[in-house]
Amino acid sequence: MNKAILLGSAGVAVALGMLAFGFVAGSPQAAKADTTQAIQVASTDTKVDRKEVEGIIRDYLLKNPEVLLEVQDALEAKQKEEQRLAALGVIKNAKDEIFNSTFDGVVGNPKGKVTIVEFYDYNCGFCKRAIEDMKALTKADPDLRFVLKEFPILSPDSQKASMVSMAFHLMMPEKYGEFHTALLGGQGRATEATAMKVALSLGADEAKLREKMKDPSINEALSRTYDLATKLSITGTPSYVVGNEVVFGALGQQVLAEKIEEAKSAL
């Protein structure tokens, strides 16, 4: 076998890779002719003419610039699939931490067959709008368990509001749904002060609540959530885990309802 075919060169490899896309992006006949020419360069000369190969690549891309878009699309699709498979593994290995953490609030049916987990920040504008999705979904589906996972990433105020929230949940879990709805659905910025005001309005003892906020297990729980988010490629809020799928962004009630139905069908 010709040494040039065995060893090749970076230029020839790139040329063949690019030209192969011609069967999708351009004329199959033209792509075949260009591919044949590239192969001949590699197979007839023991020393590949780098400039000639580069010229072939340049001419082909100038004639078929849409190939670059198809390469980009193929790369994005590949990365998305790799991300999905990685998330599947994380969800499988960290199921209890994702779906059953004692630090997470639950609304809807606590014993529902299908669980949706929302990663949220109290100062996230999209999360504020998405609270209506949560209300509508839990009202429409009596078998839905909606888990609220604190993920304060936008500011120190968000972190302090979450500390109050998590302490309140540990003390008064039966009123957490009311607390969450009032704070996230309220006007203005969520801070430690605004969160404390909501907590006190629901009957919390301020001294005891502030003492509970010092519980190191709360910070540990937040650290685990940050770690989970990194593994699940969650970088913004709101984001959701529904069944074995991660759903990014405030996609609306209809999309979430469809994901919930898909999760039900997989049971």
Indicate if 23 and 105 belong to the same structural domain: no
Residue 74 in any domain: the answer is: no
Query: Rounded to two decimals, what is the model's pTM?
Result: 0.73
Q: Is 24's pLDDT higher than 90?
A: no
Residue 33: φ, ψ to 5°: -65, -45
Q: Do the beta carbons of residue 167 and residue 209 sit within 8 Å?
A: yes
User: Over the Cα atoms of the chain, what is R_g?
Assistant: 27
Give CA–CA dist 12/16, Å, rounded: 6
Indicate if 231 and 142 belong to the same structural domain: yes
Q: Is 19's pLDDT higher than 60?
A: no
Q: Which of 20, 45, 64 is the endpoint of a domain? A: 64
Residue 151 in any domain: the answer is: yes
Q: Which of 20, 43, 64 is the endpoint of a domain? A: 64
Instruction: Supply the pLDDT for residue 27.
Output: 45
Mean pLDDT over residues 199-224, rounded? Answer: 98
Length of the chain: 267
Indicate if 171 and 259 belong to the same structural domain: yes
Domain count, the chain: 2
Confidence of residue 261 (pLDDT cuts 50, 70, 90): very high
Indicate if 235 and 107 belong to the same structural domain: yes
The predicted-structure confidence for 26-62, as pLDDT tens digits, reads as follows: 444 444 454 455 445 444 554 668 888 888 888 888 9
Print the domain residue range for 158: 95-265
Q: Which of 41, 64, 87 is the endpoint of a domain? A: 64
Indicate if 21 and 116 belong to the same structural domain: no
Which residue, among 148, 126, 145, 129, has the nearest Cα to 137 in the 3D structure?
145
Residue 76 in any domain: the answer is: no
Q: Is 2's pLDDT higher than 70?
A: no
Instruction: Supply the pLDDT for residue 267.
Output: 83
Mean pLDDT over residues 228-242, rounded? Answer: 96
Indicate if 13 and 135 belong to the same structural domain: no
Indicate if 151 and 226 belong to the same structural domain: yes
- The DSSP bridge pattern shows strands 245-248 and 114-120 to be unpaired
Residue 101 CB contacts under 8 Å (≥ 6 apart), including other chains? 149, 221, 224
Which residue, among 90, 138, 97, 93, has the nearest Cα to 114 in the 3D structure?
138
Mean pLDDT over residues 198-217, rounded? Answer: 98
Instruction: Supply the pLDDT for residue 22.
Output: 43
Indicate if 153 and 49 belong to the same structural domain: no
Instruction: Supply the pLDDT for residue 35.
Output: 47
Q: Collapsing DSSP states into helix, strand and coil, what is residue 108?
A: strand
Indicate if 100 and 60 belong to the same structural domain: no
Indicate if 60 and 104 belong to the same structural domain: no
Give CA–CA dist 137/182, Å, rounded: 18
Residue 261 in any domain: the answer is: yes
Write out the two tokens for 238: 């709101």
Cα–Cα distance list, 49 to 34, 56, 91 (Å): 16, 11, 51
The predicted-structure confidence for 138-197, as pLDDT tens digits, reads as follows: 999 999 999 999 999 999 999 999 999 999 999 999 999 999 999 999 999 999 999 999
Indicate if 136 and 246 belong to the same structural domain: yes
Q: Which residue has the tokens 């075919």?
A: 5
Identify the DSSP state of 147: E
The CATH number linked to 142 is 3.40.30.10
Instruction: Supply the pLDDT for residue 233.
Output: 93
Indicate if 124 and 52 belong to the same structural domain: no
